[in-house]
């Protein structure tokens, strides 16, 4: 410690360190307390900071802090509801304190919620308080990765391909990896860029990009990289054919609607005529009469 202070003083960071120590004292955590518990939350989703209170202790009050005092909870006596006072307006209407432990529950996590939290549990019996610390890390749930394909055909049929995987608004802490689905073994390559080559006669194998962060993990569609080299028009083909397919489907649906419409109007007209009804009934009678002939004697 003294060596550290000496070093700090020598490098001119002593006033800063002193301030930090003072600050820690003021908030109330001792230097030798354990590292804060890391809690991972997804943006705009709920999260709880778990609090464990020894079961046989009587709790006077529970005080939650984030950057400043967040809320005070005073447990009710004998089945009475606890009294909750949310002090920090940033958390108003978004936090609740779950019975019986009074864990902090945030209903809709925002970027601003990330950072250090501390809870101080004041016990009635032992005149002691215990503290627990948390580090809340907020991440956005990833959307499906997109893949950009670059290929070069330098000659002799060989083709160099690079695939770039990306996720929109991904932020930090995203891990990318590529999975090559081979005949025998699937190969995994770390990183967002995959470089590979293809030669005529090679199989066209699918590649899949996986993007993950601490709250999500999501795959791209399989990419047939070799197909771009084998047929440079490949890029346009799927969209054209899918467009034609969509048009065909639309036409089919329209035809079906038209047919159903015609049928409905006909049925309506028919039901207006009593004579045709009679005829139908007769037909049913006929069928009923014939029925016994069909059953084995």
Ligand X SMILES: *[C@@H]1O[C@H](CO)[C@@H](O)[C@H](O)[C@H]1NC(C)=O
Q: Does 152 bind ligand X (CB under 6 A)?
A: yes
Centre a 10 Å sphere on the Cβ of residue 97 and count the other Cβ atoms it contains: 20
Q: Please, what is the Cα angle at 111 between 220 and 18, to 5 degrees? A: 130
Q: Is residue 110 involved in binding ligand X (CB under 6 A)?
A: yes
Contact code string over 162-191 relative to ligand X, x by CB under 6 A: -----------x-x----------------
DSSP state of 234: G
Nearer residue to ligand X within complex by CB, 63 or 138? 138
Alpha carbon separation from 141 to 145, 172, 175, 291 (Å, rounded): 12, 12, 13, 64
In 10 A of CB 3, how many CB atoms?
Answer: 7
Q: How far apart are CA 32 and CA 42, in angstroms?
A: 30
Strands of 95-98's sheet, edge to edge? 47-49, 103-106, 95-98
| Environment class of 226 (CB within 10 Å of its CB; exposed 0-12, middle 13-18, buried 19+) | buried
Select from 72, 131, 189, 197 the one that contacts ligand X (CB under 6 A). Answer: 197
36, 206, 214, 222: which one binds ligand X (CB under 6 A):
214
- Does residue 93 belong to the site contacting ligand X (CB under 6 A)? no
Q: Considering the complex, state which of residue 8 and residue 153 has its C-beta at the smaller distance from ligand X.
A: 153
Any residues with CB less than 8 A from the CB of 231 and at least 6 apart, and which? 237
Q: Does 193 bind ligand X (CB under 6 A)?
A: no
Taking contact as CB under 6 A, which single stretch among the options 9-17, 52-60, 69-77, 207-215 is the one that binds ligand X?
207-215
103 binds ligand X (CB under 6 A): no
- Residue 92 DSSP class: T
**In terms of CB distance, is 166 or 212 closer to ligand X?**
212
- Using CB under 6 A as the binding rule, whether residue 216 contacts ligand X is answered as no
CB nearer to ligand X: give 132 or 213.
Answer: 213
24, 25, 87, 266 from 5: Cα distances, Å? 16, 17, 37, 96
DSSP helix, strand, coil percent of the chain (3-state; round to 5): 30, 35, 35
* Min CB(201)–ligand X separation in Å: 16
Query: Residue 72 CB, nearest distance to ligand X (Å)?
Result: 24
Q: Which stretch binds ligand X (CB under 6 A): 79-87, 129-137, 141-149, 152-160?
A: 152-160
State yes or no: residue 160 binds ligand X (CB under 6 A): yes
Interface residues with ligand X (CB under 6 A)? 44, 108, 110, 152, 154, 160, 173, 175, 197, 212-214
């Amino acid at each position: 410690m003294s060596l550290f202070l000496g070093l700090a003083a020598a490098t001119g960071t002593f006033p800063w360190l002193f301030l930090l120590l003072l600050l820690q004292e003021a908030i109330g955590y001792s230097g030798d307390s354990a590292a804060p518990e890391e809690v991972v939350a997804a943006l705009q989703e709920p999260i709880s900071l778990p609090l464990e209170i020894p079961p046989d202790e009587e709790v006077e009050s529970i005080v939650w802090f984030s950057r400043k005092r967040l809320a005070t909870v005073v447990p009710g006596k004998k089945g009475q509801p606890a009294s909750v006072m949310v002090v920090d307006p940033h958390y108003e209407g978004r936090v609740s304190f779950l019975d019986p432990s009074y864990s902090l529950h945030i209903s809709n996590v925002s970027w601003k919620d990330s950072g250090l939290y501390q809870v101080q549990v004041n016990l009635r019996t032992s005149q002691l308080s215990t503290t627990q610390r948390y580090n809340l890390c907020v991440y956005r749930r990833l959307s499906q990765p997109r893949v950009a394909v670059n290929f070069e055909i330098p000659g002799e049929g060989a083709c160099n391909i690079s695939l770039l995987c990306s996720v929109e608004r991904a932020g930090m802490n995203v891990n990318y990896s590529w999975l090559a689905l081979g005949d025998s073994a699937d190969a995994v390559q770390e990183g967002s860029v995959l470089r590979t080559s293809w030669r005529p006669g090679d199989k066209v194998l699918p590649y899949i990009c996986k993007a993950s962060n601490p709250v999500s993990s999501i795959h791209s569609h399989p990419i047939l990289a070799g197909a771009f080299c084998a047929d440079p028009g490949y890029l346009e083909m799927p969209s054209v054919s899918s467009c034609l397919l969509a048009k065909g489907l639309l036409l089919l649906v329209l035809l079906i609607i038209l047919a159903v419409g015609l049928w409905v109007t006909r049925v309506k007209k028919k039901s207006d005529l009593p004579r045709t009804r009679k005829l139908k009934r007769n037909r049913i009678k006929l069928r009923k009469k014939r029925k016994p002939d069909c059953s084995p004697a």
